[in-house]
Structure 1
Amino acid sequence: MPFLDWVNKNQAQETTREVPYHLLKQASVHGDVSGTNADNLLIQGDNLLALKALIPFYAGRVKCIFIDPPYNTQSAFEHYDDKLEHSQWLSMMYPRLVLLRELLAEDGSIWVTIDDNEAHYLKVLMDEIFGRKNFLCAIAWEKRYAPPPDTKDFGYVHDVILVYRKSAAFKRNLLPATDEQASRYKNPDQDPRGPWKPENYTCRFTAEERPNLFYPIRQPNTGEEVWPKKTRVWAMSRESHLRNEAEGRIWWGAKGTNSVPSLKNFFSGVAQGMMPMSIWKHGLAGHNQDGKKEALALHGDAPFSTPKPEKLIWVILHIATQAGDLILDSFLGSGTTAAVAHKMGRSYIGIEMGEHARTHCLPRMQKVIEGEQGGISAAVEWQGGGGFRFCTLGEPAFDEHGRISTDIKFATLAAYVWHLETGEPGQQVFDKPLLGVHNGAAYYLLYNDILGDRRPAGGNVLTHAVLQAINEIFPHDGPKVVYGEMSRIGASRLAAEGITFKQIPYDVRMR
């Protein structure tokens, strides 16, 4: 498989490991954040730092990622630096995509909107990070319904949406049939099975290429044998044709005298869902003007520069998720992804770096909770409710000397250590030294006086007394990994107990 190379690529690859781990600080709570709303987060801060902060808690949990990164169009945008030199743009995207992949569930997918300035380079970059076998589609989304007024050579009216899965475990959903699609189905013969439309009964193969599809069928009204053309044979085998005939699915025209039959395709089957296609017309997924009108209605005289329409995100989430799934957008913009996810009953995490996280995203989500009726609200019968947490990035968890920040609480470091050791997100409640058992090994953390002993030689230090307490209160018959400030137990005793001791902070590293 070919790889993309650019100036400072090695540095971009190192960036993922070098990004400091920051704490997330809850700034405010809006609405009801209990139950299914507990994971709803709006984060203000650099998305690279925020993604790193999310890894210990959400690695492998995100079902769908949608991002609308800067297109690197060499033009100026109010809220983004969209004039990066090409290699800088690639270096900006690489570590973020690596972290996004780590957050993605095995049955999850990632959707990235882009235009032709970087689309082909991004495709190769994502092939490298997600695996070329996991590429699903490059969707052409009709973002304009008319040519732009400044057209010189070609009227550029679409964006590309690159779609990748995490693994073969991903399964897409069908899209509901639209009113326009439903209007194509009629019932001229009053078939009790309902409306249908005729489908071609032949296919583009020659008789020499598909001899099994070159056979006569009987015209029931005239009794004549009907053969397909040698350059266009029947679309199905003789056995399938006989089954269609027995099921009354063949149409010979209004007067029953057509020389070539059609196949009845009933709307009842289509109504269950339509296969997603690789071209999305604006009637299905909206267009830029829809997004701008929605932004004007929400923000008045200060709309976001390039918002995506809610309808576009609705289509993506309909294909890629179910109610309750976790959605992530690390280039949240004006908050469209979070708004649509909220209205569709999905959990979500949105990350935005600038002040417009407060001026655009926060007020928009407050309006969603209050039941605003823009975008997809009517289609999904949105009436308001739910809630989210607004968070900011705190100080780095480790200082330049490797010391752990005093702001880190036990549960936060526990989730960090658990993910470091197991690769799993820290979803369990961390309120005791035993963090959990993974692949037969038990993991313990002695930190913040978790055993209630504040003496220097007590709860944070592995002493004989602490070890005895651990064995009595949290026994485990197998290997143990213990994190603590210091160990005062000899190597032979540790080996006899099956303990691997790791010292805080020196042995605390990012995966």
Structure 2
Amino acid sequence: MRSDEKHGEGPRAIRFLDELDSMFTGAKVDGDSGFINLLRIKHQYFASIRASLLSSIDTGAPLGTPFREELFDKLYTFFHRYFCETGSVYFRHVPSFSSHYGNIFGDGADVALSWKTQMLYYIRSSSQLQSMPLQLRVSAGGGETRRFYFDASSLSRQPDSQRRDLVYAYQGIEAALEEPVIQISVIHSKRGRKSNHAAILKSARAAGVKVTADELNRAVHVFERQSAVDYFINRDATAFLEEQFDLWFYSYVMDRNATFDQERVRQLQVIRNIAYDVIAYLAQFEDELRRIWEKPKLVRGLCYVICLSELGPKIVNKLVAHEGMREQLDEWKALKLVDLEITQGDLSALLGSADSENHQHFLTLPIDTQYFKSIEGMILKSVGDFAELFDGELIFADNWQALNTLLPRYRELAQLVYLDPPYNTGNDFAYKDNFQSSSWLTLIENRLDLTRQYLAASGWTYLQLDHYADYMGRFLLHRSSPDIGPNDISAITWNTGDNISGYKTQRDNWIRQADRLLAFPKSRAEAYFTRMWQPIKKAQDKRVGQLDFLGPGKENLYLEQWVDGRLTQVPIDVDSKRIGTVWSDIDSFQASWLAAAEGLSFETQKPENLLRRIVQASTAQGDLVVDPFSGTGTTAAVAHKLGRKWLAMEAGVHGSTTYLDSKDERKLGLLGRLKNVLAGDREFCVPNSDRVQKSPLSRDIGWTGGGAFKYYSLETYEDVLLNARYDDAEHLELDTTRSLFEQYVFFSDDKLATSVLSITGDSVTLDLCALYDDVDIAESVANILGVPIRTRTETTVTLTDGSLHKIDPAIMSTEEVLHLADILKPYLWWG
């Protein structure tokens, strides 16, 4: 609260208004990260709307009146329960002795799951702490401020899943500015080292700067909030707070000891009206963050992975002669797909000789167009129908953002959604609150709400959990599909072995040796399901391997195998029995033979035969399989080998072709694994290893490689926060007949539009590269229109509905540019 506003105010008013200050203007910060820009926007918003809020309070409760203190006391009593340091509103501070209300039972349900964050989006990004200058307002009256500079230049970048304590140390005082700046270094803790705040205070005072422990703690708190990117956004802040206030207000008014005269009734109306103004004030900004979170995200860094066998001889010759082939050859060698001795000159002879023993092997080598950008347009023009050629898409993004952005294209098209999320063990998230289970439930529910919309009426969802999360998963599935009853959820027990990490045989408890798969159809009446069978005795037929038999009955069973380049139903006659809900015949990676055969040194990797059984039971050839938590890519790999289309999403550092793990060892990443699959991974080696690995599934089904897929990233929530433009106070009030609390105050703000679109007279310029230099307009157009691409060139894209769109604004007319801008508008402006 500003010093001029504190004059004459009582302690209760100061307490409430300071609480708002701490949410919106607790510190003035500078810097370039998206989170810092968010703080800047919040600061600007609160400064602009503060006067209107105080004017409403002054009208109903003039300064100096006893009722003013009571008003602020009532406001604080209600709102402090829902104030969160990130600016979000939910059941943040509700002690056990304090009542709160919620509509838990709905539509006749007699049992329901309720948690404190169920009305929220759980936000997670990959922001890292950056050096930050900040100016802290000192709360002890007057206009005094304190300046700090946190130097994070020595911080090593940490994967999102790793949490390490920070150590703060005094660096010195920068006296060049009007006000001295306390400089503090920030490093990661090693060997249990802790910060010594007392030493920082002592050193600062010795240098002539008086700073209190409270001020230092507040400054550290603001700095660390940079990394608090896994915070919440209320999906409907207005409805939530108004409902909670009405219930709270009703309980207060109906107190048996309350008495009311005319003046008291007026005061109660003032309390209610001011509370609704505060709710509108809080909800305006919360709703704007929700719009940013929900807006579709632009496609960035699009590349294609295509087997040489899918390309004509002329294109192959151009690729071999291209300067990018040197990097492509290096990648093939790193993936152990070709001998280390092969040179670029050797490729032409090997690919050109159909009689060569290795000719077919070389034709299944996958090229990545990131190495051939100068001729990528020519490559794409030669491949024909994209819908026929491309087997899958790999999206490097937060999976909620990917699901939300691609929903128009894939609505009701998926036959299978497989989710293998973090298991809520306490090590999965960098939690910023005390609601570990609430955060997990919200994370999963947010995604189930979207994946259900991907499913065709005949489709299935499989949710893989452990014993910690099993019971909560059942409730979540029922919430996402209320028309599906408890008996429609099949609980499959996968026997993973008796040596699970953390559960040693010496433990005085039952040994955990199973995970749970919850399978349920979108519609029981329309569900597609293929019966699965296994031999009663060990099959002598060598074709069987570890495969299941498929078919409606014992008399007409078959195997799915590749024969002469086609996925074929191969009849088989073996005495068999139906497979039930206890799977003890599929080994986990606790089995050393399986780890040696297909293990990628990834703790939560699932065996291919587990996914093979799920995919075969729930889909047919050509159906779409969706995996939002792709991990090492087992689902996509299996779907590809079984002739299914696939959509995979991953945001971890292991998503690339290869990556460095926490020990700085080079490992095979998700993208690299899928390239191996295209190359026919019956035998392959991972980086830094000469051990030959052989995929049992590839052997059993006769997979020899082939196909194509695309991969790209999406604009992030952090990107949007960093680039969004919001105007100053004079642009807030658009309708003078209504208060600021009754209108969309961000309507006239530019958001991202003016960053890419400029209009000068009759000239219109659209330049998405002004935002990001790797935006792909064609794919972004297809995603927003919800229609797949059929063909594309460097200047046009044709969609499967027959529509043609020009995508190069530099050679388009003004009308064409405006038409393209209108299509792209949801990416650039929201509200």
Identity of aligned residues (%): 25
Provide the residue aligned with 2:415 in structure 1.
63
The question of 1:169 aligning with 2:169 is answered no
Alignment of 1:139-218 (within 5 A): 139-144=492-497, 148-167=504-523, 168-178=525-535, 180=537
Provide the residue aligned with 2:50 in structure 1.
none
More helix by share: 2
Q: Deviations over 1:307-326 (max 9, x none)?
A: 11111001101101111111
Q: In 2, distance between residues paired with 1:433 and 1:372?
A: 34
Provide the residue aligned with 1:454 in structure 2.
813
- Note the aligned Cα RMSD (angstroms): 4.1
Q: How many residues are matched?
A: 371
The question of 1:99 aligning with 2:450 is answered yes
**Residue ranges of structure 1 left out of the alignment (5+ in a row):** 184-265, 420-424, 438-443, 463-482, 486-501
Residue of structure 1 aligned with 2:708, choices 374, 380, 387:
387
Give the drift of 1:288.
3.4
Give the drift of 1:454.
2.3
Provide the residue aligned with 2:490 in structure 1.
137
Shift of the 145–418 alpha-carbon distance from structure 1 to 2, 3 Å rule, reads same
Residue of structure 2 aligned with 1:312, choices 607, 610, 620:
610
- Residue 443 of structure 2 aligns to which amino acid in structure 1? M
Contact persistence 1:9–1:91 (CA under 8 A): yes
Contact persistence 1:327–1:346 (CA under 8 A): yes
Q: Which one is further off, 343-352 or 15-24? A: 15-24
When normalised by structure 2's length, the TM-score is: 0.39
Residue of structure 2 aligned with 1:279, choices 582, 585, 591:
582
Contact persistence 2:797–2:806 (CA under 8 A): no
Give the drift of 1:97.
1.2
Shift of the 346–335 alpha-carbon distance from structure 1 to 2, 3 Å rule, reads same
Q: In 2, distance between residues paired with 1:435 and 1:369?
A: 25
Give the drift of 1:305.
1.2
The question of 1:120 aligning with 2:454 is answered no
The question of 1:355 aligning with 2:648 is answered no
Q: SS state of the match for residue 119, structure 2?
A: helix
**Residue ranges of structure 2 left out of the alignment (5+ in a row):** 1-108, 122-233, 236-288, 311-382, 541-552, 558-572, 659-668, 683-694, 725-749, 757-766, 769-774
Give the drift of 1:367.
1.7
Contact persistence 2:398–2:650 (CA under 8 A): yes
Give the drift of 1:145.
5.4
Contact persistence 1:446–1:484 (CA under 8 A): no
Contact persistence 1:22–1:395 (CA under 8 A): yes
Contact persistence 1:27–1:392 (CA under 8 A): yes
Contact persistence 1:36–1:347 (CA under 8 A): no
Q: In 2, distance between residues paired with 1:110 and 1:276?
A: 19
- Residue 149 of structure 1 aligns to which amino acid in structure 2? T
- Residue 467 of structure 2 aligns to which amino acid in structure 1? D
Q: In 2, distance between residues paired with 1:331 and 1:81?
A: 18
Contact persistence 1:295–1:304 (CA under 8 A): no
Contact persistence 1:56–1:415 (CA under 8 A): no
Q: In 1, distance between residues paired with 2:512 and 2:706?
A: 40
Give the drift of 1:39.
4.0
Give the drift of 1:416.
5.0
Structure with the bigger RCO (C-alpha within 8 Å, sep 6+) is: 1
Q: SS state of the match for residue 29, structure 1?
A: strand
Alignment of 1:256-267 (within 5 A): none
Provide the residue aligned with 1:371 in structure 2.
680
Give the drift of 1:432.
9.1
Q: In 1, distance between residues paired with 2:598 and 2:581?
A: 31
Q: SS state of the match for residue 395, structure 2?
A: strand
Shift of the 415–274 alpha-carbon distance from structure 1 to 2, 3 Å rule, reads farther
Provide the residue aligned with 2:303 in structure 1.
28
Give the drift of 1:7.
1.2
- Residue 529 of structure 2 aligns to which amino acid in structure 1? R
Shift of the 509–105 alpha-carbon distance from structure 1 to 2, 3 Å rule, reads farther
Q: Deviations over 1:161-191 (max 9, x none)?
A: 01121223221001143363769xxxxxxxx
Contact persistence 1:417–1:508 (CA under 8 A): no
Give the drift of 1:388.
2.2
Shift of the 504–42 alpha-carbon distance from structure 1 to 2, 3 Å rule, reads closer
Q: Which one is further off, 408-417 or 126-135? A: 408-417
Contact persistence 1:47–1:352 (CA under 8 A): yes
Give the drift of 1:505.
5.4
Q: Deviations over 1:340-372 (max 9, x none)?
A: 112111121221111101132122112222222
Shift of the 149–345 alpha-carbon distance from structure 1 to 2, 3 Å rule, reads same
Contact persistence 2:494–2:516 (CA under 8 A): yes
Q: SS state of the match for residue 392, structure 1?
A: strand
